Structure 1
Amino acid sequence: MNGYEEIIRGYLDKAWARSEEGLREAAPAVLEAPGILTFHAFGLRCSVKRHGVFFDGVLDTGAKGVLTAIYLAVVPTRSAPLHPLKAFKEIPNSGPYQAAFAVHAEQALVPYVPTIRQNLEAILAAFSGHRNTDAPSGDFSFTLYPLPKIPLYYIIHEADDEFPAAVTCLFGGDCPSFMPLDALADVAEYTAQSLIDRCLRRHGAPS
């Protein structure tokens, strides 16, 4: 058992300490069978058992498994509002993580903006997302749910003759009370990585 597996099992022990029905409601998820919850996470079908987290049927012993287990251990039962939106830098105590967040959650997506636009409908379907009709700026905007109660609101500026492409990632207003701050930053980073992986599978590396 590697270090991540121990962490995952520790958080899953906390998660399953609730009743099955309480955990199903909080996630929210489908109770597929006793001791098996299913929902979508990071654009994949996620099954959570008492001993592990599975994506598309494969046991995950990495960071996404850890983040999913943390989420289930701490997520409250109440609903998760999308508004008011918060930039990561507006979240208290986010200073130590801001530079890494900008690089890994936002700037990493810039080369893939054309591919994201081209495949947006498939991305929205995978992440239970939707287009944003209220975006204050940008060429297109959408919300993804890497975890059921963690909305990430993206505003995309496409490149033109004057400015390069840009990506802004905002959090749904109550996200900081649904996961620890460092885990929230990691959720955004691994959501970006999931989008990049999806783009690479479809179109290869950007030129």
Structure 2
Amino acid sequence: MKDNYRKIAANNLARLYADLPQDLAANLPAQRQGNRFQFKAFGRPCTISPDGINLEGQQMSSVFEILISLYALNANPEICILVPFKAFKELPGTAPYVGAFTTHTEGILVPHVEAIKARRKNIVDTLGSPEAVQEPGGDFALVVHPLPKIALCYIFYGADEDFPASVTCLFSANAHRFLPVDGLADVGEYTSRAILGIINQ
């Protein structure tokens, strides 16, 4: 299966470079150097090239390569519209992925709510945050930019006498314009993993 994933990613890159859009750098947005495109993804320098996709010079998993190649294939001139933030299940076509999203994006953070609260500045500094955004409710919230045109809003509630801790992840209003829904589910999971990586440094 891993080989199949790698083939999908390679096919996506082949499609991209077979008819490379002249405005790709502006639409990602990214810095272009020849046939290489560089931008920040999940808090780290990301490079797209005909040879593959890497973060900080290291090849990533085939699933990650599929995700970034899909982001490039779906790049368009629209800007990221942050609000109103939308729950994953509110986006069209997400029903088959809601269970996995709840487990792999929100559930994995629940045991770490207090650690995330203590490191929230580090998380926002690393993953990037839009300016002048009024964070929604909860005990605290984080708004981050895992990809240049996709923002996520995490809402956290700490445990108390009556309720366990909980985490809700919302998407910027037009996130579905830049990735298909299965890709958006992966964005949530990879962002949550990045948050865990930051608090465990």
TM-score (norm: length of structure 2): 0.90
Cα drift, residue 160 of structure 1 = 2.3
* CA-CA distance at 1:4 after TM superposition: 2.7
Are the counterparts in 2 of residues 45 and 55 from structure 1 also a CA contact under 8 Å?
A: yes
SS of 1:137's equivalent in the other structure is: coil
**Residue matched to 1:181:** 181
In structure 1, C-alpha distance between the alignment counterparts of 2:84 and 2:14, rounded to whole Å: 33
Give the match for residue 18 of structure 1.
20
Corresponding residue for residue 155 of structure 2:
155
Partner residue of 1:84? 84
User: Cα deviations across residues 135-177 of structure 1 (Å, max 9, x unaligned)?
Assistant: 3421111211111111111111122232221111001111112
* 3-state DSSP of counterpart to 1:112: helix
Amino acid at match of 1:7: I
Counterpart residue number, 2:194: 194
- CA distance in structure 2 between the aligned counterparts of 1:176 and 1:139, rounded to whole angstroms: 27
Across the aligned residues of Structure 1 and Structure 2, the Cα RMSD in angstroms comes to 1.9
How far off its partner does 1:132 sit?
7.6
For 1:91 and 1:73, how far apart are their aligned partners in 2?
Answer: 20
Structure 1 unpaired stretches of 5+: 203-207
Q: Is the 8 A contact 1:131 1:142 kept in 2?
A: no
State the partner residue of 2:39: 39
CA contact (8 A) 1:131 1:143 kept: no
Cα separation, 1, equivalents of 2:189 and 2:136: 23
Query: Residues 105 and 192 of structure 2 are in contact (CA less than 8 Å); yes or no, is this contact kept in structure 1?
Result: yes
Structure 2 residue ranges without an equivalent (≥5): none
CA distance in 1, matches of 2:100, 2:159: 23
Contact 2:159 2:165 in 1 (8 A): yes
Once the two structures are TM-superposed, the CA of residue 130 in structure 1 deviates from its matched residue by 4.9
CA contact (8 A) 1:132 1:143 kept: no
8 Å Cα contact 2:122-2:198 kept in structure 1: no
SS at structure 1 position matched to 2:186 = helix
4+ runs of 1 displaced by more than 4 Å? 130-133
- TM-score normalized with structure 1 length: 0.88
**Distance between the aligned counterparts of 1:56 and 1:171, measured in 2?**
26
Aligned residue in 2 for 1:95:
95
**Cα distance, 1:133 vs structure 2:** 5.5
**TM-fit CA distance, 1:128:** 1.4
> Where does residue 49 of structure 1 map in the other structure?
49
Q: Return the offset for 1:3.
A: 2.4
TM-superposed deviation, 1:131: 7.9
Question: 1:146 maps to which residue?
Answer: 146
Amino acid at match of 2:196: I
Percent pairwise identity: 34
